[in-house]
Amino acid sequence: MINYLLRLAFVGTNFSGWQVQPKERTVQGVLQEALSKIFNEEIKVIGCCRTDAGVHALDYVANFKAKKDFPEEKLLLALNGILPKDIGVYEVRKVSPEFNARYSVKGKVYLYKIWNSEVRNPFLYPFTWQVKKGINFELLKRTLELVRGEHDFRAFAKLEEEKNTVINLEEVSLKREGKLIEIRLRASHFLRYMVRRIVGTAVKIALGVYEPSLMEELLKGKGKAPYTAPPQGLHLEKVIL
């Protein structure tokens, strides 16, 4: 069996997330269907993580094993020829049999985009959370600085699916260009809903909806994150191998 690594990007708008679900259009499902046709055998694809419905990926790593030894460049062209327009594969590579996209990656970078304006930007609307009320950027920055480093993020997770909720957030950075705010977070791994709940809570604090002390309380394990930012603003920006 040959082990193939794929790097791909996808627009999550019309997908019910990464993972195969009955009667739902998913990235994993579409990819497996395309590969099964190309290889003329049933292919099971392993992804580096799950993404929720509507979440995008600028960089996503997956792998699969197949009997046929397919030239990498030909497979790259074949995949991009058969896949729908909202998925693009930009690298195919044969790797060692031990490589597993779920367990072999060393880290991930997530990017969350906010369009802070009352006026809709139709070119950014599918890829941002539009927040119409003015965000206190300095308060947002101070609030997000609190989550940098090692913390127990159980207050931001879907707990029934998580065993270890202690994570070291190695990077938390903010950038603002005009009305566009970008938030980046880097860690070895993330809990489900973690980024969206951190961002959602921090933004609501910066809007004056919640007290600034709320983030510290949540990091101490007191309560549950009260707001989850919408999925379309979230992008898996980089997978670190």
- Whether 35 shows a pLDDT value over 90: the answer reads yes
Q: What is the mean pLDDT of residues 165-192?
A: 96
- Whether 188 shows a pLDDT value over 80: the answer reads yes
Stretch (H or E) spanning 65: strand 56-66
Can you tell me the distance from the alpha carbon of 168 to that of 177, in angstroms, rounded to the nearest whole number?
Answer: 28
What's residue 87's pLDDT? 98
Percent of the chain surpassing pLDDT 90: 96
SS3 194: helix
pLDDT in tens, 197-235: 999 999 999 999 999 999 999 999 899 999 999 999 999
Q: Which residues are catalytic?
A: 52
Q: Radius of gyration over alpha carbons of the chain, in Å?
A: 19
What's residue 68's pLDDT? 94
The average confidence (pLDDT) of the chain is 96
What's residue 221's pLDDT? 87
Is the torsion defined by CA of 131, 170, 221, 136 positive or negative? negative
- Whether 179 shows a pLDDT value over 70: the answer reads yes
What's residue 131's pLDDT? 98
Which domains does the chain carry?
2-104 (3.30.70.580), 107-240 (3.30.70.660)
Instruction: Specify the higher pLDDT residue, 159 or 196.
Output: 196
Closest to 3 measured CA to CA, from 59, 89, 82, 75: 75
